[in-house]
């Protein structure tokens, strides 16, 4: 895309703040910024790559804000990060091999699936708990690899999917799950961003603005998270995801 106009700069700044805050609170911030980038004329694959790079400071800001909630989670975090690194790299490399048209066709369904998973997360967690702790935890690392692959391939909705996954497998408070999700999202985002920067093009103007405002939004989001009902937040982000998925699918057929 060409030089950014004043209204585009303002829009991206607001979107970055919102995306960073939502990523810190529940995940799904990239579901906000991705369609805005596409609306502004960035090709879908480039928008996804740009989103991946821009999301990193927001993940960092959220992780710093949740330092206290990470206490006692170090050992599990290391194991989850170890499978997240190869998963994210594999997902990023896969993205670079698919056609732009195929990616555009898949995007609405990825967004819709992530929204649906977030919406049913409490029921999924209850079902997993009834199956028993040992068998439940045994599937955590393979499931995290799949989520990391998803995040490397398509960053929008990564936080939603990861928060839902962790809620199914782990019996922790929402804030401790958010803290774990934030660090793992930072790991996945860093690995995919390195691959993208090395191998393809990034829209650096939008990425820079989204990154700076996303960092601020991430810190503010942690403060807001402690005051918002988890169920309210979950329903709000899930509803937004359904709307975005619908709009993306419609636009694909009318474009």
Using alpha carbons only, give the angle 181, 204, 9 rounded to the nearest 5 degrees.
Answer: 90
What CA–CA distance (Å, rounded) separates 240 from 224? 18
Longest dimension (CA), the chain: 56
pLDDT in the model for residue 135: 47
Q: What is the pLDDT along the chain (255 residues), one digit of tens a residue?
A: 556 677 888 888 888 888 877 766 666 677 778 888 888 888 888 888 998 888 888 777 777 777 888 888 888 889 999 999 999 999 999 999 988 888 888 888 887 887 787 677 667 666 655 655 544 567 889 999 999 999 999 887 787 778 778 877 887 777 788 788 889 989 999 999 999 999 988 888 889 999 888 888 877 776 766 676 667 766 776 787 787 778 777 777 765
Residue 135's CB is within 10 A of a number of other CB atoms, namely: 9
Q: Which residues contact 251 (CB under 8 A, 6 or more apart)?
A: none
Q: Which residues contact 162 (CB under 8 A, 6 or more apart)?
A: 27, 144, 147, 151, 181, 184, 185
pLDDT in the model for residue 230: 63
CA distances (Å), origin 4, targets 15, 30, 184, 206, 220: 15, 20, 32, 8, 26
What CA–CA distance (Å, rounded) separates 4 from 15? 15
Residue 243's CB is within 10 A of a number of other CB atoms, namely: 14
**146 CA to centre of own chain:** 14
> Which of 141, 140, 162 lies closest to 151 in space, CA to CA?
162
Count of residues making up the chain = 255
């Amino acid at each position: 895309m060409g030089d950014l106009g004043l209204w585009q700069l303002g829009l991206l700044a607001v979107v970055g703040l919102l995306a960073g805050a939502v990523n810190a609170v529940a995940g799904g911030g990239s579901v906000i910024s991705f369609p805005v980038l596409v609306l502004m004329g960035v090709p879908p694959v480039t928008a996804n790559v740009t989103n991946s790079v821009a999301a990193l400071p927001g993940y960092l800001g959220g992780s710093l804000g949740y330092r206290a909630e990470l206490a006692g989670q170090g050992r599990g975090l290391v194991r989850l990060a170890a499978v997240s690194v190869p998963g994210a790299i594999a997902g990023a490399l896969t993205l670079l091999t698919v056609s732009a048209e195929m990616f555009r066709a898949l995007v609405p369904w990825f967004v819709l699936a992530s929204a649906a998973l977030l919406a049913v997360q409490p029921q999924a967690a209850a079902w997993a708990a009834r199956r028993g702790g040992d068998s439940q935890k045994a599937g955590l690392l393979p499931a995290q690899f799949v989520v990391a692959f998803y995040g490397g391939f398509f960053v929008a909705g990564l936080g939603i999917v990861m928060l839902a996954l962790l809620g199914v497998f782990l019996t922790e408070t929402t804030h401790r799950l958010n803290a774990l999700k934030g660090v793992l999202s930072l790991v996945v985002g860093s690995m995919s961003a390195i691959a993208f920067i090395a191998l393809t093009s990034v829209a650096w103007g939008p990425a820079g603005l989204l990154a700076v405002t996303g960092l601020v939004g991430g810190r503010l989001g942690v403060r807001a998270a402690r005051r918002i009902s988890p169920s309210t937040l979950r329903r709000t982000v899930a509803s937004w995801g359904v709307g975005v998925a619908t709009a993306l699918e419609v636009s694909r057929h009318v474009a």
